[in-house]
């Protein structure tokens, strides 16, 4: 494996997807947890904690999708038709979730309706994203550079499992974020929900991993044969350590530690995904090199990424810094 | 029940529906972001609270419009792959990078600074807040730059090579791709359209409140600013549109033939048809009413210049004339009506009746949504007019679609239609509700909290809002923000 432009681009896309999953993950998780918070000040504070940043968080999804289109057009052209109903469901879920941020303040008479749209949209988007990942991992049938399956191939017990795992994981991220941003009763509530979500995440992550290893010979080979096992083994071991620390932190911590540990858990999940899929972008047939855009496209975009990405990270960090600290009871006045 | 052509037609309807709905919001938010930047800049420069009030008035509206633009825009970034996967695979190496640049240079910029623009005044101070507003405004423009470059490349593809696997590949110069021949014209025409659309919305809202209270200083200010835009920018837009048309004549002559209703060639001067019923079957314009030789005068600046008609184009390369012919007339008609409003406002200013002339206010109110109609009509003209091609003269729309079954496309189309009308209908309703409230001194900004009617205090001014008091603090650079009073 040499480090070529295509490999660099695979890592850039993976970074965008990871940034999206973590950053919009906690937004969506808060949406999923929303009904468990009391209508009124509790919900307002939960939403205010992400109101200034959710839009930037969601932009990483556009970079993930747009970046895939640009850097691996064939993968984009195969995955999207293959998961067509899931993509549609995800987009419509994000429509409801996104407008709810504005509408619920605009229309107190229908606030319950838009709160429901916020939760429903978040849940549908999270489930759909998890199932898209599952559909990708279970393999996509391709003939002649085009999707060759039928329009319900994505619906299997395995994709339902990855969907639920993603919902649990996002809920964990959302709860951990709220532990950091809230205080008092609401924070206690967030910690309790976080603990449940953490257990659910760990169990589902384990189930998906076992499913991968036992039901797919090629994936099993990556994880269980020598010499790959020495490279791959640290991932589950570290995951176990992080999971234990996370569960302990959620029982005690009142600040940011559970959130960072939840991110670490997602990072290890992403690393595991990398071990499982590499070097395929669309298992079982399309590698990153098969799908890669020509070098001129890669170079042109890499220049753009090199210039803009540090700036994007800097002003995104600044925006988070501006709204740092616990969310006040009076909202952003 | 369905066959491949149904799936194609449904995919086309889906794209047309989602992109038309989407474009309504950027057409408004590109202009409104710039207007907000102007208002905040004037407030910082002059210290006059009226600009701050207007800023906060329109910021609330901007927040809703922008949210609708974002969520409908994310749909667009996936439509290419879901419904036009063959196009995505084949054209991805050329247009994908331009869209990636749009994300990197525009979307992150807008979204990253939007939170500070909406909620951060108290936390970052005025100068940084103004910088955030400028970044959001710049982001909306940069976004238009890249996506119009992509769109223009599909109309006038240059700078590409064809790869062994059939993909379009970038040639040696990205400059030739980005600045393809129709791009500068389309960019200017579209961005001016967005500014004018916004100006007529602002003018319409100002007119509405002047009709109710012609002494309202905030209504006067926004109406006056909007009418300056109408008087000054609409003539520039008509000129830019003419240049864009000449560019189209050079690169996509059959689109202009359809716009003009020229089924037949006119070897010695072509008429300018004002009215007619396009009849594609018979290849003629029924009930035509036209000005002899005027089309040649406009397009060739010569009364007797020959103009080719659709009879020179093979049947399977002709666009459907009816939609192009009519949508073009709607756009141009609205353009000249806008010009009329602009000139009328100049006359009213000269007569010192700008704020009292109720007929003008009523006309401006009627014209408030006209920009949206003109913009959509213009896009229909250019997009239907380039059919049957998705990449002009190189790839047919019929060859670009995803291998999907018609029921899948039909189901998603239905879902988009239902959700869009419900969700964006509600959003437009909320915007109209905000516009209905008169702008006033001590306007509230985008506030949200848990104590009572945060955003419904339209009539009662906040307790600390004494305008003279506020302007003193502004000049002294004090940190207290009047809008932050509980």
Q: How far apart are CA A103 and CA B422, in angstroms?
A: 13
Q: How far apart are CA A185 and CA A209, in angstroms?
A: 36
Cβ-nearest to B174 among A59, A99, A300: A300
Mean pLDDT calculated for residue range B71-81: 87
**What is the number of H-type helices and E-type strands within chain A?**
14, 4
Q: Are B266 and B257 contacting, i.e. CB atoms less than 8 angstroms apart? A: no
pLDDT in tens, B7-52: 888 889 999 999 998 999 999 999 999 999 999 999 999 989 999 9
**ipTM (interface pTM):** 0.86
Task: Say yes or no to pLDDT of B473 above 80.
Answer: no
Task: Say yes or no to pLDDT of B444 above 70.
Answer: yes
Residue B4: predicted pLDDT: 59
Say how many CA atoms lie within 13 Å of A51 toward its Cβ. 28
Best interface-test mutation with A: which of B25, B62, B78, B118 has the largest number of A CBs within 10 A? Answer: B78
Q: Which two tokens stand for residue B305?
A: 């210049």
Q: pLDDT tier at A3 (50, 70, 90 boundaries)?
A: low
Percent of chain B residues past pLDDT 90, beyond the cut? 50
Cβ distance A70 to B405 less than 8 Å, yes or no, reads no
Which residues in chain A are closer than 8 Å to B419, comparing Cβ atoms? 92, 95-96
Q: Which two tokens stand for residue B135?
A: 């970044």
Residue B82: predicted pLDDT: 86
Q: pLDDT tier at A225 (50, 70, 90 boundaries)?
A: confident
What is the four-CA torsion angle of B315, B316, B317, B321, rounded to 10 degrees? 60
Q: pLDDT tier at A282 (50, 70, 90 boundaries)?
A: confident
Mean pLDDT calculated for residue range B248-263: 89
Chain A residue closest in CA terms to B75: A91
Residue A195: predicted pLDDT: 92
- Residue-range domain boundaries for chain A: 5-322
B320 CB-near residues (< 8 Å, 6+ apart): B258, B280, B384, B387
Q: pLDDT tier at B482 (50, 70, 90 boundaries)?
A: very low
pLDDT in tens, A20-40: 999 999 999 999 999 998 888
Task: Say yes or no to pLDDT of B349 above 80.
Answer: yes
Cβ distance A99 to B99 less than 8 Å, yes or no, reads no
pLDDT in tens, B378-394: 999 999 999 889 999 88
Mean pLDDT calculated for residue range B411-419: 91
Q: pLDDT tier at B470 (50, 70, 90 boundaries)?
A: very low
Cβ distance B103 to A333 less than 8 Å, yes or no, reads no
Task: Say yes or no to pLDDT of B236 above 60.
Answer: yes
Cβ distance B92 to A69 less than 8 Å, yes or no, reads yes
Average pLDDT of the residues of chain A: 88
Residue A143: predicted pLDDT: 85
Q: Are B250 and B385 contacting, i.e. CB atoms less than 8 angstroms apart? A: no
Percent of chain B residues past pLDDT 70, beyond the cut? 91
Least confident stretch, A79-93, B88-102, B448-462: B448-462
Best interface-test mutation with A: which of B17, B71, B118 has the largest number of A CBs within 10 A? Answer: B71
Cβ distance A147 to B120 less than 8 Å, yes or no, reads no
Q: Which two tokens stand for residue B380?
A: 């229909």
Residue B311: predicted pLDDT: 86
């Amino acid at each position: 494996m040499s480090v070529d432009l295509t490999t660099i681009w695979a890592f850039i896309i993976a970074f965008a997807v990871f940034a999206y999953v973590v950053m919009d993950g906690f937004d969506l998780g808060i949406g999923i947890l929303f009904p468990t918070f009391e209508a009124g000040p509790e919900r307002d504070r939960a939403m205010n904690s992400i109101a200034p940043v959710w839009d930037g968080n969601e932009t990483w999804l556009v970079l993930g999708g747009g970046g895939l289109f640009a850097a691996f057009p064939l993968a984009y052209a195969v995955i999207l038709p293959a998961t067509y109903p899931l993509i549609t469901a995800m987009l419509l879920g994000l429509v409801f979730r996104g407008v709810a941020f504005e509408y619920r303040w605009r229309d107190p008479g229908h606030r319950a309706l838009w709160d429901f749209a916020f939760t429903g949209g978040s849940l549908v988007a999270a489930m759909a994203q998890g199932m898209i990942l599952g559909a990708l991992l279970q393999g996509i049938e391709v003939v002649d550079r085009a999707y060759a399956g039928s329009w319900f191939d994505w619906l299997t017990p395995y994709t339902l499992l990855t969907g639920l795992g993603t919902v649990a994981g996002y809920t964990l991220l959302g709860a951990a974020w709220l532990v950091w941003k809230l205080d008092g009763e609401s924070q206690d509530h967030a910690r309790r929900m976080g603990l449940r979500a953490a257990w659910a995440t760990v169990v589902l992550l384990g189930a998906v991993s076992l499913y991968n290893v036992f039901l797919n010979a090629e994936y099993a080979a990556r994880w269980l044969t020598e010499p790959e096992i020495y490279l791959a083994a640290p991932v589950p071991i570290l995951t176990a350590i992080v999971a234990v620390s996370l569960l302990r932190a959620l029982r005690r911590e009142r600040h940011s530690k559970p959130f960072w540990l939840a991110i670490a858990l997602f990072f290890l999940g992403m690393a595991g995904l990398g071990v499982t899929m590499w070097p395929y972008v669309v298992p079982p047939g399309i590698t990153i090199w098969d799908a890669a855009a020509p070098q001129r496209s890669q170079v042109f975009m890499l220049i753009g990424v090199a210039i803009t990405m540090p700036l994007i990270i800097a002003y995104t960090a600044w925006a988070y810094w501006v709204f740092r600290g616990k969310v006040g009871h009076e909202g952003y006045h | 029940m369905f066959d491949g052509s149904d799936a194609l037609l449904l995919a086309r309807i889906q794209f047309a529906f989602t992109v038309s709905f989407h474009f309504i919001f950027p057409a408004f938010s590109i202009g409104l972001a710039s207007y907000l930047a102007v208002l905040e800049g004037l407030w910082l420069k002059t210290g006059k609270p009226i600009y701050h009030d207007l800023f906060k008035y329109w910021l609330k509206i901007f927040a809703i419009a922008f949210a609708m633009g974002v969520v409908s825009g994310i749909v667009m970034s996936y439509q290419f792959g879901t419904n036009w996967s063959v196009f995505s695979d084949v054209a991805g190496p050329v247009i994908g990078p331009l869209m990636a640049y749009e994300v990197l240079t525009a979307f992150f910029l807008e979204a990253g600074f939007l939170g500070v623009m909406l909620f951060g005044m108290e936390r970052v101070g005025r100068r940084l807040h103004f910088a955030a507003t400028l970044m959001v405004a710049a982001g909306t423009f940069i976004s238009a730059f890249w996506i119009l470059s992509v769109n223009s490349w599909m109309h006038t593809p240059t700078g590409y090579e064809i790869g062994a696997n059939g993909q379009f590949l970038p040639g040696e110069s990205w400059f030739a791709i980005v600045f393809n021949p129709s791009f500068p014209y389309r960019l200017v025409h579209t961005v001016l359209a967005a500014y004018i659309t916004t100006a007529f919305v602002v003018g319409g809202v100002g007119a509405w409140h002047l009709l109710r209270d012609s002494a309202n200083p905030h209504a006067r200010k926004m109406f006056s600013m909007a009418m300056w835009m109408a008087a000054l920018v609409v003539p520039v837009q008509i000129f830019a549109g003419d240049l864009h048309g000449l560019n189209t004549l050079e690169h996509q002559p059959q689109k202009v033939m359809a716009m003009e209703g020229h089924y037949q060639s006119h070897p010695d001067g072509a008429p300018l048809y004002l009215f007619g019923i396009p009849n594609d079957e018979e290849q003629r314009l029924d009930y035509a009413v036209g000005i002899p030789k005027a089309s040649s005068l406009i397009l060739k600046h010569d009364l007797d210049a020959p103009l080719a008609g659709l009879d020179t184009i093979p049947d399977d390369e002709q666009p459907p004339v009816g939609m192009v012919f009519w949508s073009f007339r709607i756009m141009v008609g609205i353009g000249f009506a806008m010009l009329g409003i602009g000139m009328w406002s100049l006359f009213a200013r000269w007569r010192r009746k700008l704020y009292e002339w109720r007929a003008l206010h009523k006309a401006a109110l009627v014209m408030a949504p006209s920009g949206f109609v003109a913009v959509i009509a213009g896009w229909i003209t250019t997009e239907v007019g380039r059919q049957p091609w998705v990449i002009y003269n190189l790839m047919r729309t019929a060859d670009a679609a995803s291998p999907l079954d018609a029921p899948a496309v039909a189901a998603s189309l239905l879902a988009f239609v239902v959700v869009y009308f419900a969700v964006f209908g509600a959003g437009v309703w909320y915007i109209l509700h905000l516009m209905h409230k008169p702008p006033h001194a001590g306007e509230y900004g985008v506030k949200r909290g848990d104590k009572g009617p945060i955003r419904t205090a339209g009539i009662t001014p906040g307790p600390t809002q004494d305008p003279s008091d506020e302007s003193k603090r502004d000049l002294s650079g004090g940190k207290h923000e009047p809008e932050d009073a509980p």
